[in-house]
Structure 1
């Protein structure tokens, strides 16, 4: 089935373990707040549904997607966190700014993950237009915030299984 015809946030084929004992950080960009707020709501609710205690979810807001990198770095100064979810949205414009920001954010998030040896999840929409962003933040293609939360849980469990 073509991507444009289905929700991409279907987890029915996955067995996602409980996240009851996990501590998760979320850093969310304030820019494009209608989109990033919906991503955050999806991620936060999924963490609660998977039994993460509200007091074990630490959230900070940063101005934009570029600042997700330093926000994740700041959150990981709390060594008790098992994973950090980065949520943002960059929409293609008329200049190359989009390319520079998307590349920097992807590389920066990867580098923070390597620096701390902790899962840092890329939950950043990089869309051509507003409609694509809406479709992926709770619209017809699901909610990428939920997907980022699932990824954080899975990666935290993988890391825990390797360090035992």
Structure 2
């Protein structure tokens, strides 16, 4: 990926779910590494850990509403169980983040793994499918660059 133009003032927020921490910590590592490689200083990144995916939208909204961030990245892992609980969580979180993005005119990056098995989550958090946290950080960087060059609000 070509490095997007950053002026050093961009701040990024990352909201990470504690639930399935063995997966989400790896997603966070990928996101932080990607932002760092793009020239974003550690001091320009704020990370908030929340109990689970359900709690991501509220904290993401707080980050968005304070108007200090160029983008908010949300990371979590919801793995299918014996009921449809995962589907309700995934749908609610994805729709909430989309609504926040549109209401706040801010890139809200959806990094919630929605996997059938733990094995799938492992593969998507640094395994043979890559690291979706790193991909989310790349998307955040690209969106920030795109919006800097888009028509004014």
Question: Distance between the aligned counterparts of 1:18 and 1:143, measured in 2?
Answer: 23
Question: Distance between the aligned counterparts of 2:51 and 2:89, measured in 1?
Answer: 13
Question: Distance between the aligned counterparts of 2:111 and 2:123, measured in 1?
Answer: 14
Which residue in 2 is equivalent to 1:4? none
Instruction: Report the Cα offset of residue 163 of structure 1.
Output: 4.5
Unpaired stretches in structure 2, ≥5 consecutive residues: none
Q: Of 7, 12, 16, which residue of structure 1 is paired with 2:3?
A: 16
Which residue in 2 is equivalent to 1:102? 90
Instruction: Report the Cα offset of residue 93 of structure 1.
Output: 0.7
Asked whether the 8 Å contact 1:20–1:50 carries over to 2, the reply is no
Change (3 A) 1:63 1:103: same
Which residue in 2 is equivalent to 1:7? none
Unpaired stretches in structure 1, ≥5 consecutive residues: 1-13
Instruction: Report the Cα offset of residue 15 of structure 1.
Output: 1.9
Q: What is the TM-score normalised by the length of structure 2? A: 0.94
**Which stretches of structure 1, 4 residues or more, deviate above 3 A after TM superposition?**
none
Question: Distance between the aligned counterparts of 2:56 and 2:15, measured in 1?
Answer: 6
Q: Does 1:132 align with 2:120?
A: yes
Q: Of 48, 60, 75, which residue of structure 1 is paired with 2:63?
A: 75
Q: What is the TM-score normalised by the length of structure 1? A: 0.88
